[in-house]
Structure 1
């Protein structure tokens, strides 16, 4: 971890501050001689938080037989840790609520956080290790550093999220490569500054490490790790979900001797709780996944004894879905173009509206759209510039085109043709009907004899900033890297 980078982020005026009620509750609960009446008074000083706490305490999430009418009663029935966890959870949700028209996906962030928190509480209750409400809080706030990184770095962090392509497990590696620290480290520093309990800070710091690194509260850390696997298994990427589900089943058995049926019952219970919690936190978490379908697929794969390995008919460095060369092949091609010292250009193309398409029609709709667009892009590039253009699956719903030689001068015209070809390639989906697709495109060029964008990384970074600006512009547009900033070509 780079201490200088950490200090710079911690001193950033962009970081949200913790609401006063949360600061006061943390201060009071750190005292051994604190009285419940003092805590109740502090919570009631914020009527909005107090109302949400009582509404949640009286919900089916806690299953109390008697109605609770005051914060003091809630403290008496459920205990200090439960009420503290709810107050801090609601405070953080309010402090880190999404803003309108930002590229950071707050819906996905809170969906994952609430699934993880619900699973952590359920697992802690089942295995009888530690406090279930502390596990809930630790899982809910474990990724708070992601928001801090986005607030500080803006579009640069969005580009890193794009590189991770929804794979939360690999995200910390991309963060360290670009910023010399990850969201777990910055999140732990924030919580430590807010005087959260040290064992919760420790869990947040280590939640991307394997169990080879011992935590202060190892049981809680393992519960949070399992909860993350549950959240991943409920994601939209089917292959990644099944991999996480297998890992969850194995680790639950190894760490806590949980039988398969008990471990999978957690998945069925938390979707209802997550939906309820989303309403309590006034957060959008999108529609819940079909857990029965996920478990049926797991059973089918188990019976067939299959593993998620690349099919043998696909060559190394080839993307299975599109049949295009993958990101590794892209990096090799870009390096070879620079070694040849010829003019070079990168054109990044992202399909607009993929998140909505997957949400409405399911992950299969997005895959079909990407395959359809890949065919159109490959065909158009061959017709326009022939062998001087190479097409790759970059990340997620993005493709990359590398051009060299004389074709670099025609990259703008090629971008226009690609955008038009995608508009003219509607996708027939059996669930959603005929869909018209759009694309955002970003261009960066390196001309012969110039010193600008002198390395492959610089050229790629410029193209990524250009496509980010195209998305920010509302999509269906083309931006090219100009004199130090993206410039619109077609919008």
Structure 2
């Protein structure tokens, strides 16, 4: 909604509060130059209830007059026209309550805070030398008049503002600007203007949240606006959940805006709560015992300490939980490795078992297919192994198997796979390796075994082995199968044994097997 349209809707709303007759008439009277004190006194005297309230306040510590004031004429004479006008308006506005529509807006809380703001504004301006304090009270009271107007005339929409503030998504001014296109300062100003308020009361409503916005030369108005602005910071201490922030801001800006010294600031902070409670009694507003600023700040510090303590404790617990989780993860990884070993490692030799060989061979064949590369395998059999068991016993046989495995493992590439195929047979997978390179590897291994001394610290043993080799390019070979590939290496191994053992033989497509040129007969 555009600003002009919204203001028209507000002013035309049935929910817009109306000023009591006396309040409306006193504004009209005080705007005339020829109005006398007697005219003011006669007007106020017509409302007996209002007269009683004004006399009650006039004779209270709110003004602290030494003499007793016994009549409205005397009150008007002593207090002055502007002060009486402020009292009449204050009592009038404090009677405004919620409208017909239900809303989230807390009217009682609003007036409690408004009265606290009025008291604070008066306390502040009293500390400024030669400042006119007659109307600062009503200015503080009506600083947020626009909020009341919004809550009465646009209850549902203003609930959205309150929800945004409650969720800490926005300040009230920013939320109002977003939802209505104007904030409550402008709305309060326009409504008060329609009621005939003088400029000295209008401008603090308009600029009460932004003193820099007033560029006029009137010192009284400028001082009032600054006092009203600072009073809002003080009510932030009393009513917000972050009093320490408002406290720091008040101390800083009270000095910069009005030049208040530390003693003045301490005096204001020290007496604020008691003055608010007194004002509640004078203006018939039920206010529970207001906590002192010192007490509020102490409680805030305690809450902050508890939050920090809780944070430290939570942080320690999180660190401990993280360490425990990392330890558990390492334990699980270790146990998983153990399980993998149990599933994939040969218990005697410590190299991979037949099951793992089959899995890796599937993977390497798939990789060779993708890259159209070659793959070789070596099937190896320890020559005359049965004689070791029969002659020296199974313990020596186990030693030979273990030492044989170590020699092969220590002399293969990291990406080659050595596994126990079964009994005294072993297998090596050589990825991306053609026949020539594979035979070189096989002959190197054969020679290392043949020339190694197998010493179990009791005796030494001479061990030889036979090697069968097969090479394939799975991607280009017709009818290639894993089992067929292994069978070719097995046939080559069989031929190596037939040819006298301790040699390397490669499988050829013509099913002819030739001993490797570097091998020797057993």
Contact 2:237 2:246 in 1 (8 A): yes
Task: Name the residue aligned to 1:223.
Answer: 227
Structure 1's 257 and 49: CA in aligned 2 closer, same or farther, altered over 3 A? same
Say yes or no: does 1:83 pair with 2:87.
Answer: no
The offset of 1:196, in angstroms, is: 1.0
SS of structure 2 residue aligned to 1:63: coil
Say yes or no: does 1:124 pair with 2:125.
Answer: yes
Question: Normalising by structure 1, what TM-score?
Answer: 0.57
Task: Name the residue aligned to 1:187.
Answer: 188
Structure 1's 166 and 73: CA in aligned 2 closer, same or farther, altered over 3 A? farther
Task: Name the residue aligned to 1:48.
Answer: 49
Quote the Cα distance in structure 1 between the aligned partners of 2:33 and 2:26.
13
Task: Name the residue aligned to 2:344.
Answer: none
Task: Name the residue aligned to 2:108.
Answer: 107
The offset of 1:36, in angstroms, is: 0.7
The offset of 1:164, in angstroms, is: 1.1
Contact 2:164 2:170 in 1 (8 A): no
The offset of 1:298, in angstroms, is: 8.8
Task: Name the residue aligned to 2:281.
Answer: 279
Quote the Cα distance in structure 2 between the aligned partners of 1:233 and 1:29.
35
Task: Name the residue aligned to 1:254.
Answer: 256
Structure 1's 143 and 169: CA in aligned 2 closer, same or farther, altered over 3 A? farther
The offset of 1:47, in angstroms, is: 1.1
Structure 1's 98 and 166: CA in aligned 2 closer, same or farther, altered over 3 A? farther
Quote the Cα distance in structure 2 between the aligned partners of 1:146 and 1:274.
21
Contact 1:230 1:248 in 2 (8 A): yes
SS of structure 2 residue aligned to 1:55: helix
Task: Name the residue aligned to 1:475.
Answer: none
Quote the Cα distance in structure 2 between the aligned partners of 1:298 and 1:66.
43
The offset of 1:161, in angstroms, is: 1.1
The offset of 1:312, in angstroms, is: 11
Quote the Cα distance in structure 2 between the aligned partners of 1:74 and 1:99.
37
Contact 1:129 1:220 in 2 (8 A): no
Quote the Cα distance in structure 2 between the aligned partners of 1:100 and 1:278.
27
Task: Name the residue aligned to 1:17.
Answer: 18
Q: Which has the larger radius of gyration?
A: 2
Q: Which runs of 5+ in 2 are unaligned?
A: 316-522
The offset of 1:145, in angstroms, is: 1.3
Structure 1's 56 and 95: CA in aligned 2 closer, same or farther, altered over 3 A? same
Quote the Cα distance in structure 2 between the aligned partners of 1:122 and 1:212.
23
Task: Name the residue aligned to 1:461.
Answer: none
Structure 1's 41 and 58: CA in aligned 2 closer, same or farther, altered over 3 A? same
Question: Normalising by structure 2, what TM-score?
Answer: 0.54
Structure 1's 36 and 131: CA in aligned 2 closer, same or farther, altered over 3 A? same
Quote the Cα distance in structure 2 between the aligned partners of 1:151 and 1:63.
37
Mean Cα displacement is larger for which, 264-273 or 167-176? 167-176
Quote the Cα distance in structure 2 between the aligned partners of 1:5 and 1:277.
35
Quote the Cα distance in structure 2 between the aligned partners of 1:166 and 1:203.
29
SS of structure 2 residue aligned to 1:94: coil
Structure 1's 98 and 11: CA in aligned 2 closer, same or farther, altered over 3 A? closer
Structure 1's 149 and 294: CA in aligned 2 closer, same or farther, altered over 3 A? same
The offset of 1:101, in angstroms, is: 7.1
For 1:9-408, list aligned pairs within 5 A: 9-96=10-97, 103-128=104-129, 130-165=131-166, 170-211=171-212, 213-214=214-215, 217-237=221-241, 240-294=242-296
Structure 1's 5 and 34: CA in aligned 2 closer, same or farther, altered over 3 A? same
Say yes or no: does 1:5 pair with 2:6.
Answer: yes
Structure 1's 255 and 200: CA in aligned 2 closer, same or farther, altered over 3 A? same
Quote the Cα distance in structure 1 between the aligned partners of 2:98 and 2:43.
22
RMSD, aligned CA: 3.0
The offset of 1:187, in angstroms, is: 0.6
Structure 1's 251 and 23: CA in aligned 2 closer, same or farther, altered over 3 A? same
The offset of 1:313, in angstroms, is: 12
SS of structure 1 residue aligned to 2:210: coil
Mean Cα displacement is larger for which, 165-174 or 148-157? 165-174
The CA deviation string for residues 308-365 of structure 1, in whole angstroms up to 9 with x for no partner, is 9xx99999xxxxxxxxxxxxxxxxxxxxxxxxxxxxxxxxxxxxxxxxxxxxxxxxxx
Count of matched residue positions in the alignment of Structure 1 and Structure 2: 306
Contact 1:169 1:208 in 2 (8 A): no
Quote the Cα distance in structure 2 between the aligned partners of 1:169 and 1:16.
27
Contact 1:58 1:68 in 2 (8 A): yes
Mean Cα displacement is larger for which, 5-14 or 277-286? 277-286
Quote the Cα distance in structure 2 between the aligned partners of 1:17 and 1:193.
11
The offset of 1:81, in angstroms, is: 1.5
The CA deviation string for residues 63-114 of structure 1, in whole angstroms up to 9 with x for no partner, is 1111111111111222111111101110111134688976321122012111
Structure 1's 86 and 197: CA in aligned 2 closer, same or farther, altered over 3 A? same
Specify which structure has the bigger relative contact order, considering alpha-carbon pairs within 8 angstroms and separated by 6 or more residues: 1
Contact 1:107 1:286 in 2 (8 A): no
The CA deviation string for residues 13-48 of structure 1, in whole angstroms up to 9 with x for no partner, is 111100000011111111111111110010111111
Q: Which runs of 5+ in 1 are unaligned?
A: 316-491
For 1:393-472, list aligned pairs within 5 A: none
The offset of 1:296, in angstroms, is: 5.1
